[in-house]
Amino acid sequence: MPLRIRAQAALVIVLAFALAACSRPASTGGATTPGVRVTEVDLGRSLNADKTIGDKTDSFRAADTIYAAVVTEGSSSNAALKARWTYQDGQLVDESVRTIAPAGKATTEFHISKPDGLPTGKYKIEVSVDGASAGTKNFEIK
Amino acid sequence: MGIFDRKDDTPKAKPDFSNVQSGSSSTAPAPTEPTGTTGTTSTSSSATYVVVNGDSLSKIAKREYGDANKWHRIYEANQDIIKDPDLIYPGQTLKIPGA
C-alpha cells in the first residue's frame, strides 16, 4: 500500500509540473520585449513626413521603392527593430536593423529598391523586435 | 511521339539581390551611446547591424558604405568583439560608424 501511495504522489507531482509548463507562453528562447511592441506594418510607394505610408498598397512595379512603415508603441532605451525582406521561397533579399529608443508611439520606415528592377513575384517582409517576430506583410511585384 | 518530349528540368537561376539598396529612418531617437566611450563623435544615427549567415566585413561595408574596402572601419569600431576580421558570427551585433 505505501508503494501505491508513493506512486500516486509521484503522479500528482508530474501532473503539477505538466500543468505549470502548459500555462507558460510558448517561447523560442528569446526574452520578451516588455518595452516596445509593433502595432502596425504598412507598405506603400511613398512616405509622409511623419514616416507613415502615403499610398498603402501591396502591389508594386519593378522600379518602385518599397517602403514599410512599422508603427510601435511603448518605450525602451534600446530596441532593435529588424526588417527581413524575402522573395518567394524564402530567398533573402535584404535585412536591416534599426536601433531605436522610443518614448511612446513611433514610426520607423524601412525601404528597398533595386537599380535594375526587382524581379516579379511574391515577397514578404518580416519585422522583429529584439529578435522576436512581431509581424509579417506579403506583397507582390507585378 | 510523347516519348521524345523532354521536360525542362533546368533549375531556374535564383535572382540576384546583391545590388538591392536599402535604408531606414525613424521618428524615434537613436539610443544614446554610453558615456565614457572614446572614438567617433558623429551625431549621425548610431546604426548597428546584426550579422547573418554568409556575411563578411567587406560585404557589410559594401552594403553600408557602398565600398567594400571600408571594412576596416567596421572592424576598428568593433575590435572589442571581433578578434579576427575574417571571423564574424551570425547574431553578432556590430556598430556601424557613420559614413
What is the rounded distance in angstroms from the CA atom of residue A85 to the CA atom of residue A127? 9
Q: What is the mean pLDDT of chain B?
A: 74
pLDDT band at B98 (very low <50, low <70, confident <90, very high): confident
Total CB pairs under 8 A between chain A and B = 95
Strand residues in A18-129 grouped as ranges (E): 36-44, 59-60, 66-74, 79-87, 91-100, 106-113, 121-129
User: How does DSSP classify residue B77?
Assistant: H
Hey, which residues 49-68 in chain A have their CB within 8 Å of chain B?
50-51
Distance (Å) from the C-alpha of residue B5 to the closest C-alpha of chain A?
29
Subunit contact B24:A102, Cβ cutoff 8 A: no
Give the residue from A72, A89, A76, A88 showing the smallest Cα distance to A128. A72
Q: How confident is the model at residue B8 (pLDDT cuts 50, 70, 90)?
A: low
Q: Which three cell numbers stand for residue B24?
A: 531606414
- Answer whether B23 sits within 8 Å of A110, measured CB to CB: yes
pLDDT of B79 reads 85
Q: Are A140 and A59 within 8 A, CB to CB?
A: yes
pLDDT at A26 over 80: no
Min Cα distance A25 → chain B (Å) is 24
Closest partner residue to B26 among A51, A78, A92, by Cβ?
A51
Higher pLDDT, A6 or A16: A6
Domains and CATH numbers, chain A: 36-141 (2.60.40.10)
Exposure letters A73-85 (e unless 16+ CB within 10 A, then b): ebbbeebbbbbbb
State ipTM: 0.73
The reply to whether A95 touches chain B by the CB within 8 Å rule is yes
Is B24–A114 a contact, with Cβ atoms under 8 angstroms apart? no
Mean pLDDT of B41-56: 64
Predicted confidence at residue B92, as pLDDT, reads 83
Instruction: Tell whether the torsion through CA atoms of B83, B88, B93 and B96 is positive or negative.
Output: positive
pTM above 0.90, yes or no: no
B35 reaches A (C-beta below 8 A)? no
Tell if the CB–CB gap between B50 and A110 is shorter than 8 Å.
Answer: no
Residue A17 C-alpha cell reads as 509540473
Which cell numbers in the block locate residue B57? 566585413
Q: What is the pLDDT of residues B54-93, one digit of tens each?
A: 888 888 888 887 788 888 888 888 888 888 888 888 778 8
Q: What is the pLDDT of residue B45?
A: 40
- Using 50, 70 and 90 to split pLDDT, how confident is the model at A5? low
pLDDT band at B48 (very low <50, low <70, confident <90, very high): confident
Domains contained in chain B, CATH given:
43-99 (3.10.350.10)
CB contact under 8 A, B17 and A102: no
pLDDT tens profile A31-85: 334 689 999 999 999 999 899 998 999 999 999 999 999 999 999 999 999 999 9
The answer to whether the Cβ–Cβ distance between A87 and B17 falls below 8 Å is yes
> In the structure, what pLDDT confidence band is assigned to residue A3 with cuts at 50, 70 and 90?
low
Interchain contact A20–B (C-beta under 8 A) = no
CB distance A98–B29 less than 8 Å?
A: no
Dihedral angle, C-alpha A45, A46, A51, A53, nearest 10 °: -60
